[in-house]
């Protein structure tokens, strides 16, 4: 399922969301300019769990740098689409600066989850998906009655409005089952870091609950 838009208008400009998208795009364009050297760039700034087993301090910076690196156009555009649709409302609810710290914290939680579940892996992991998963978790808590216009994988393809809790719930369950399957088949073999998404989403649920208590505003669709 591909989200196209939601039905929650933002009351203020999502400046941080825009800046995060711009930063990810700029880093990706830099990667493209490196040519064959991009491989070394990704290896140096991506999360490699084996590094932490040897020297945790040496790999600590990659918990943050990896959030802004992507492995291809599809990887980048997919993450930025989800951030664009769901990030503006979470930022609107949390405020600009708290949202930025929340985003980075969710990405950190996702990275640590990946390291814990892929101990010893030498495959570099990159992408904003862990942090974006945190945004989805926060949205799940803050806007449970929102609806998401969604492109469905049917033939012929169709578009439908789906409740946000249903859309995000399906997404989360898919990450859990895919991550469990990944662990049972080939730990450390690379591919999509599904359990990192789970860690980011759970962090988003926790931060979203705190934001809901702090703001105390209703979570109805349209406001």
Q: What is the CATH number of the domain that holds 159?
A: 1.20.1540.10
**CA 87 to CA 2: how far, in whole Å?**
16
DSSP state of 166: H
Note whether 47 and 62 are within 8 A (CB): yes
Q: What is the Cα 160 distance to its own chain's centre?
A: 23
Does 30 reside within a domain? yes
pLDDT at position 206, please?
96
Does 93 reside within a domain? yes
| Number of domains forming the structure of the chain | 1
**Residue-number span of the structural domain to which 113 is assigned:** 2-215
Does 140 reside within a domain? yes
The Cα-based distances of 143 to 65, 197, 205 in angstroms read 30, 20, 12
Note whether 88 and 15 are within 8 A (CB): no
Of all helices (H) and strands (E), which one includes residue 178?
helix 164-186
* Dihedral of alpha carbons 173, 177, 183, 189, sign: negative
Does 220 reside within a domain? no
Does 52 reside within a domain? yes
Q: What is the pLDDT of residues 204-217, one digit of tens each?
A: 999 999 999 888 76
Does 7 reside within a domain? yes
Does 222 reside within a domain? no
pLDDT at position 220, please?
47
**Regions of the chain where pLDDT drops below 50:** 218, 220-223
How does DSSP assign 3-47, residue by residue?
A: EEEES---SS--HHHHHHHHHHHHHHHHHHHHGGGHHHHHHHHSB
Does 101 reside within a domain? yes
């Amino acid at each position: 399922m591909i989200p196209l838009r939601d039905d929650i208008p933002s009351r203020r400009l999502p400046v941080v969301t825009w800046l995060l998208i711009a930063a990810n795009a700029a880093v990706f364009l830099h990667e493209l300019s490196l040519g064959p050297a991009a491989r070394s760039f990704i290896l140096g700034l991506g999360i490699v769990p084996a590094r932490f087993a040897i020297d945790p301090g040496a790999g600590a910076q990659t918990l943050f740098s990896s959030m802004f690196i992507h492995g291809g156009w599809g990887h980048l555009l997919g993450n930025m689409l989800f951030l664009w649709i769901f990030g503006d409302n979470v930022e609107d609810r949390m405020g600009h600066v708290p949202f930025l710290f929340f985003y980075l914290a969710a990405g950190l939680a996702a990275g640590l989850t990946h390291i814990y579940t892929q101990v010893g892996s030498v495959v570099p992991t990159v992408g904003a998906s862990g942090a974006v998963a945190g945004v989805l978790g926060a949205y799940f808590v803050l806007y449970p009655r929102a609806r998401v216009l969604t492109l469905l994988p049917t033939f012929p393809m169709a578009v439908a409005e789906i409740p946000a809790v249903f859309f995000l719930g399906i997404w989360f369950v898919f990450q859990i089952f895919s991550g469990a399957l990944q662990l049972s088949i080939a730990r450390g073999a690379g591919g999509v870091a599904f359990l990192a998404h789970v860690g980011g989403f759970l962090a988003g649920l926790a931060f979203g609950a705190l934001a809901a208590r702090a703001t105390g505003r209703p979570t109805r669709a349209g406001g």
